[in-house]
Amino acid sequence: MTRRAFLGIDCGTQSTKALLVDAETDEVLALGRADHELIEGPDGTREQDPDAWIAATITAVREALAEAAGTAVMVAGVGVSSQQHGLVCLDEADRPLRPAKLWNDTTSAPQCIAMTERLGGREEVLRLTGNLLLPGYTAPKVAWLREREPATYRASRRFCLPHDYLDLWLTGTYSTEAGDASGTAYFDVRERRYSEPVLVALDESRTWEEALPPVIPSRSVLGGLRAEAADALGLSRDTPVSAGGGDNMCAAIGVGAIEPGPVVVSLGTSGTAFAYRPSPAVDPRGEAAAFCDSTGGWLPLICTLNCTGATDWIGGLLGLDHAAFEAALVESGHGARGLCFLPYLDGERTPDLPGAAGAFWGLRATHRPADMARAVAEGVTFGLRYGIEALRRAGVEPRQITLVGGGARSDAWAQLCADALGLPVARAPVVEAAALGAALQARWVVDDRAPSRPSAAAGDVFLPTPSDALADAAARQDALRRLAISGAL
């Protein structure tokens, strides 16, 4: 008997995943993965080769299909999720002209300042788009390209996002959808259209209607697989491909955050927190991003640049594998025996401090490696707590946390999230939330079947256990953050 399945492709910063999901039962039938290389520079450069994403997609999909070879599977649709904000520059033949600048590239900080001034200040920028101009977003990357690489800028016929580029390769159709487009900072999230004043500020002489992908409904079929793409992946030609979305938008679909409910916290390379809203949700300070989601609603979101990247860093320095890191968190306990860590290793986005650096505070000869590991995990988690306060300003009222991402596998970190955030934490039974969400979006548009919110399994709910040691750690973290914001650190 042939099983109908939907394929979700998630192109992240570290790797591309391909997930096959049973159309009827939501059972994960197979998972393929291929890693990416990152181009890094001490000036904040973070880039990747877009064609490496294509190669990784082919490898991951073929691996998933091979894993499912023992079961007769018919792929009924494909959905694509990808890292947000990246700038892909295409020539006349839609070939990348240079490596894509990624979401965690901070080289465009000067262009953010200049564009904000040109548009009339932060309040006017918020009025125009609902979001501030931050280095992670796409608009300042375009300004950086025009200023720093004018020849490449002039040769660029089109500018798009990583998810748009993958969809273009899959279907031959150039388009985007509101969820991912809302992370560009040249998109009006209230009206779900490009912001003409911002585009004029970028370049008043360019025909942006030709350069940017048309915005199509998120819940729609983009097109069918091109013959070349289908053959490369090992799929049937003309298999429908949905509009897809950014990784956070697809993760929201994967955990059922398509209606008001818990705040979703993702412990990945970056740390994110988001929640569905039926109407635009704008933080008056602009620290929470006022994004659209990829279903037709909105997804106010905060992002911290340093999450598992910071914990992996300290684990690598101390020679701790995942099990040893877990044990270290338990051994040290609340407050890390007075040690505090500011996790701004790659700068920071919430708050907007692209030039900031990480710092230990209170380090003494009596501290042990376990305390250092615990301090890093607490620093990351208190950073997420700071971001959740921005979500509250945008109208989100968190009563429970749904935890996803690679870091969520740690029981000790899940308990730390409950303790630091002061909210119950339910760990979602989801393997790869973004890839799953991409597959479920494809099923939604092909089969007209909306996903439901999965329930946490027994043992995967963590209740907060406040302590004086943790309260003291929070106060130290707040003080350290204030020093960083003031420029004194």
Nearest C-alpha neighbor of 315 from the set 381, 357, 367, 374: 374
Q: Rounded to an integer, what distance in angstroms lies between the CA atom of residue 108 and that of residue 101? A: 10
Q: What is the pLDDT of residue 478?
A: 93
Q: What is the model's pTM?
A: 0.90
Shared domain check, 316 and 212:
no
Which DSSP letter does residue 324 get?
Answer: H
Cα distance between the two ends of the chain: 64
- What burial letters (b/e) apply to 66-96, b meaning 16+ CB within 10 Å? eebeeeebebbbbbbbbbbbbbbbbeeeeeb
In a domain, 277, yes or no: yes
Beta strands in 2-63 (DSSP E): 3-11, 15-22, 28-35, 39-40, 46-48
> Do residues 117 and 239 both lie within one domain?
yes
pLDDT for residue 457: 60
- 29 near 65, Cβ under 8 Å? no
Task: Return d(Cα 157, Cα 137) in angstroms, integer.
Answer: 20
pLDDT at position 5 is 97
Within a domain: 443: no
Residues 224 and 306 reside in one and the same domain: no
Strands 215-216 and 176-177: parallel
Helix (H, G, I), strand (E, B) or coil at 352: coil
Q: Which domain holds residue 78?
A: 3-248
Q: Measured between alpha carbons, how far is 224 from 77 in angstroms, rounded to an integer? A: 9
Q: Please tell me whether residues 262 and 146 are part of one structural domain.
A: no
Q: Show which of 228, 248, 268 is a domain's final residue.
A: 248
* Same structural domain, 198 and 321: no
C-alpha separations of 57 from 80, 122, 425 in Å: 10, 39, 33
Q: 212 and 288 share a domain?
A: no
Instruction: Looking at the structure, tell me whether residues 265 and 239 fall in a common domain.
Output: no
Q: Are residue 217 and residue 265 in the same domain, yes or no?
A: no
- The tokens of 307 are what? 């999450």
In which residue are the tokens 């701004």 written? 344
With respect to residue 126, please indicate whether it lies within any of the assigned structural domains.
yes
438 assigned to some structural domain: no
The reply to whether 302 and 211 lie within a common domain is no
- Whether 57 is covered by a domain: the verdict is yes
What does the block give as tokens for 369? 């490696």
Residue 398 lies in a domain: yes
Q: Which two tokens stand for residue 218?
A: 């998120």
The last residue of a domain, from among 189, 221, 248: 248
> Does one domain contain both 181 and 302?
no
CATH number at residue 123: 3.30.420.40
| Domain closes at, from 225, 248, 271 | 248
Task: Report yes or no: 71 and 29 within 8 Å, Cβ to Cβ.
Answer: yes
| Angstrom distance (rounded) from CA 475 to CA 467 | 13
Among residues 105, 164, 188, 247, which one is catalytic?
A: 247
Residues 6+ apart with CB under 8 A from 208: 194, 199
Compute, in degrees rounded to 10, the torsion defined by CA atoms 485, 287, 106, 269. 100
Number of domains in the chain: 2
Same domain, 173 and 203: yes
Evaluate whether residue 437 is within a structural domain: no
Query: Quick one: 196 and 341 in the same domain?
Result: no
Query: Which stretch of DSSP H or E encloses residue 402?
Result: strand 401-404
pLDDT in tens, the chain (489 residues): 789 999 999 999 999 999 999 999 999 999 999 999 999 999 999 999 999 999 999 999 999 999 998 788 899 999 999 999 999 999 999 999 999 999 999 999 999 999 999 999 999 999 999 999 999 999 999 999 999 999 999 999 999 999 999 999 999 999 999 999 999 999 999 999 999 999 999 999 999 999 999 999 999 999 999 999 999 999 999 999 999 999 999 999 999 999 998 899 999 888 999 999 999 999 999 999 999 999 999 999 999 999 999 999 999 999 999 999 999 999 999 999 999 999 999 899 999 999 999 999 999 999 999 999 999 999 999 999 999 999 999 999 999 999 998 899 999 999 999 999 999 999 988 778 999 999 999 999 999 998 887 766 656 899 999 899 999 999 999 999 999 999 878
Residue type, 137: Y
- Let me know if 448 is a catalytic residue: no
Is 143 in contact with 114 (CB distance < 8 Å)?
Answer: yes
Evaluate whether residue 433 is within a structural domain. no
